[in-house]
Structure 1
């Protein structure tokens, strides 16, 4: 299955690019995702947790930075995860392109994802729901990324952002909260309804 998505961030191209290729920094921007270990050679171990009604599905896997083109601002990553209970998994190749947004200013990020998915999460693939849910997740990711790059922007000498304290050396971020599949599906259904009413 393939997905083509895009979003914009109100920040310079280089700032967004540097955030996107910093896996440990950008992973918490994706709801339910957490990096647990950097194993070297551009590979990271992590988890993705999704709440499905009264149960929670946890996936463990790896994310490898396969190729980085700093001049063109194109990053190619491969992600692989399996359900910790052995009930399915997912594989994905993700290509991200960062360019200047000519229309609204800021930065445009185009994301092409080629993936396969099995198990509980595969139910989202019915009726195109996986694309709607992915779009909802990308909106949340984009909003979190924009907040992250704004927080990480250089401040004046001695300035600190007490409202968004960063993890210091040796410190770990708070564990990722599970992303609610029900909330994502509800949001995706509302998006579909809005599109129906917008049709002439």
Structure 2
């Protein structure tokens, strides 16, 4: 199956290149990644990732290699994953070019082949699954690079139910006893 897409990132090309060739950064944004081990820095690594195809989830042990790297313009990523009687082969290429106002245009293509018991199911669901996974990856990547560049602010965690409850209790006792509470 052939896939492609593009995204504009509000950061210089070199910063986008650094992200795409950093296995730790990529692993943090890749949906389903459970672990990543560097075999050869900036070149080869092993990844364990789970991918869901409808109600079926398959864990792949994957060898990944960055090849044909032309800093900071283009590169190719080759991955071969096996798991539970299935094999997934991916060859993805990316091209970086300067956009307007110090932005970077990233165009990518991928050729994905799945063989095994999920191949029939994967073919029917592949388009939606891969669009969802690639969308999540590029959304995360864009945010991470732009946060590092100071273009956007990192989201501030909002207190959950218990955090709000504790704050309300503090405020209640502060009013009851006439003292101010510090925001924590």
Length-normalised TM-score, structure 1: 0.65
The structure-2 alpha-carbon separation of the partners of 1:121 and 1:11, relative to structure 1 and needing over 3 Å to count, comes to farther
Runs (5+) with no aligned partner, structure 1: 155-160, 165-200
Structure 2 residue aligned with 1:110:
107
Equivalent pair of 1:44/1:64 in contact (CA under 8 Å): yes
Structure 2 residue aligned with 1:74:
74
Structure 1 residue aligned with 2:142:
146
Runs (5+) with no aligned partner, structure 2: 158-184
The structure-2 alpha-carbon separation of the partners of 1:25 and 1:121, relative to structure 1 and needing over 3 Å to count, comes to farther
SS of structure 2 residue aligned to 1:25? helix
Shift in Å, 1:26? 1.3
Equivalent pair of 2:20/2:26 in contact (CA under 8 Å): yes
The structure-2 alpha-carbon separation of the partners of 1:21 and 1:34, relative to structure 1 and needing over 3 Å to count, comes to farther
Shift in Å, 1:67? 1.8
Structure 2 residue aligned with 1:89:
87
Give aligned pairs, total.
153
Equivalent pair of 1:88/1:120 in contact (CA under 8 Å): yes
Shift in Å, 1:163? 5.9
Partner Cα distance (1:162, 1:135) in 2: 25
Partner Cα distance (1:16, 1:34) in 2: 23
Equivalent pair of 1:89/1:119 in contact (CA under 8 Å): yes
Partner Cα distance (2:137, 2:88) in 1: 19
Structure 1 residue aligned with 2:97:
99
Equivalent pair of 2:92/2:108 in contact (CA under 8 Å): yes
Structure 1 residue aligned with 2:161:
none
Partner Cα distance (2:6, 2:155) in 1: 32
The structure-2 alpha-carbon separation of the partners of 1:57 and 1:101, relative to structure 1 and needing over 3 Å to count, comes to same
CA RMSD of aligned residues (A): 2.7
